[in-house]
């Protein structure tokens, strides 16, 4: 049975780009006689708001995007992520990181040849080389994140592939460096939780925006390390405004809540978005 999903983070209101993605994921399942699921990725304690969760549910219902089964809330699954972290720790693939954003930025700035990956400057590995004694002492004293030792993990996993539609892609997670799998302020991370939950929800087909294409390399690596199945991915292009900019709140993209309050017809809106069109009056959003 084909299963797709929509997995928004309730850190803001949904805008037209989210609606487009939700419709594509929903329609993909419908077209194949499959199931469409909803997951709320509410693991960021500083930015998650319960009113945004309510708004997501209201917006999707208004738009006619119906999901099947229970909504999965990531905030209720922290012990599951903890077990995966234990497993990776037992494989000697994680290390605690005590660095702050500022200390990493200073170190990167001081190095002429600091490598950059898809998510910006690659972590310079400062805490990877700490001795056992120092590590133990710092762990008792300071908050810490857990990073993946990427070189070890990639070597252990060997060459990995995933499919974007029918195209086979070679995963290159090394470009990201030692990614954080558990944050200082949350006992998990986007990469870890998304990978575990796509498997937990039986997702066979991930339909999501092109902005997450590169991150799939990390998800593929985590699947290999944790013995999880690999879905087929379908990364779609991002809606752009008349100025060619990707729709985003900071560029004035209208939220679904705005459109709902303005009395926009949700059927017409869904039809426009399915055709890759922004609704009339919004084609120059933010311009
Ligand atoms: N929660 C992520 C976001 O809102 C999307 C995760 C995914 O589709 O893989 O950007």
> Using one digit for the tens of pLDDT, what is the confidence trace for 176-234?
999 999 999 999 999 999 999 999 999 999 999 999 999 999 999 999 999 999 999 99
Residue 91 CB burial class (10 angstroms; 0-12, 13-18, ≥19): middle
Q: What is the pLDDT of residue 250?
A: 67
Distance from Cα 95 to the centre of ligand 1, integer Å: 26
For ligand 1, the distance from its centroid to the CA atom of residue 137, given in whole angstroms, is 36
Count of other CB atoms within 10 angstroms of residue 229: 10
Give the residue range(s) of CATH 3.40.50.620 domains in the chain.
1-76+237-287, 78-236
pLDDT of residue 286: 40
Per-residue DSSP letter, 176: G
Ligand 1 atom, smallest distance to 21 CA: 8
H-run or E-run covering 169: strand 167-170
Q: Distance from the CA of 192 to the center of ligand 1, in angstroms?
A: 12
Question: Which of the following CATH numbers is that of domain 78-236: 1.10.10.60, 3.40.50.2300, 3.40.50.620, 1.10.1200.10?
Answer: 3.40.50.620
Report the residue among 3, 9, 47, 214 best suited for mutation to probe ligand 1: largest number of ligand atoms under 8 A from its CB: 9
Which residues are 255's β-sheet partners?
A: 15
140 Cα: distance to centroid of ligand 1 (angstroms)? 33
CA distances for 278 relative to 13, 73, 267, 272, 286, angstroms: 18, 30, 13, 6, 13
Give the whole-angstrom CA distance, residue 146 versus residue 279: 44
| Distance of CA 241 from the midpoint of ligand 1 (Å) | 21
Atom of ligand 1 nearest to the CA of 194: 9
Alpha-helix runs per DSSP H in 32-189 = 50-63, 78-90, 101-110, 132-141, 150-157
The domain defined by 1-76+237-287 folds into: Rossmann fold (3.40.50)
What residues flank ligand 1, with Cβ below 6 Å? Answer: 7-9, 41, 194, 208, 212
Tokens of 75: 């905030």
Closest-lying ligand 1 atom to the alpha carbon of residue 5 = 8
Distance (Å, whole) CA 120 – CA 273: 31
pLDDT at 68: 98
Tens-binned pLDDT, residue by residue, of the chain (287 aa)? 999 999 999 999 999 999 999 999 999 999 999 999 999 999 999 999 999 999 999 999 999 999 999 999 999 999 999 999 999 999 999 999 999 999 999 999 998 888 999 999 999 999 999 999 999 999 999 999 999 999 999 999 999 999 999 999 999 999 999 999 999 999 999 999 999 999 999 999 999 999 999 999 999 999 999 999 999 999 999 988 777 777 776 677 789 999 999 999 999 999 999 998 888 766 544 43
- Atom from ligand 1 closest to the CA of residue 211: 10
């Amino acid at each position: 049975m084909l299963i797709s999903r929509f997995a928004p983070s309730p850190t803001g209101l949904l805008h037209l780009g989210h609606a487009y993605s939700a419709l594509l994921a929903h329609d993909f399942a419908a077209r194949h006689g499959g199931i469409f699921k909803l997951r709320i990725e509410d693991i960021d304690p500083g930015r998650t708001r319960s009113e945004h969760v309510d708004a997501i549910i209201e917006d999707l219902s208004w738009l006619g995007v119906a999901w099947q089964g229970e909504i999965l809330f990531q905030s209720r699954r922290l012990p599951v992520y903890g077990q995966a972290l234990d497993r990776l720790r037992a494989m000697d693939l994680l290390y605690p990181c005590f660095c702050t954003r500022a200390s990493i930025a200073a170190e990167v700035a001081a190095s002429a040849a600091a490598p950059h990956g898809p998510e910006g400057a690659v972590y310079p590995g400062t805490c990877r080389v700490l001795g056992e004694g120092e590590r133990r002492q710092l762990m008792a004293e300071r908050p810490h994140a857990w990073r993946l030792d990427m070189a070890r993990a990639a070597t252990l996993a060997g060459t990995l592939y995933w499919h974007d539609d029918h195209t086979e892609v070679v995963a290159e997670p090394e470009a990201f460096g030692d990614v954080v799998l558990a944050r200082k302020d949350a006992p998990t991370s986007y990469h870890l939780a998304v990978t575990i939950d796509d498997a937990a929800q039986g997702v066979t087909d991930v339909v999501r925006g092109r902005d997450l294409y590169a991150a799939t390399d990390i998800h593929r690596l985590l699947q290999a390390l944790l013995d999880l199945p690999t879905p087929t991915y379908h990364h779609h292009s991002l809606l752009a405004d008349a100025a060619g900019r990707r729709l985003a709140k900071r560029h004035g993209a209208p939220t679904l809540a705005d459109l709902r309050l303005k009395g926009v017809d949700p059927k017409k809106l869904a039809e426009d978005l399915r055709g890759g069109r922004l609704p009339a009056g919004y084609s120059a959003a933010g311009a």
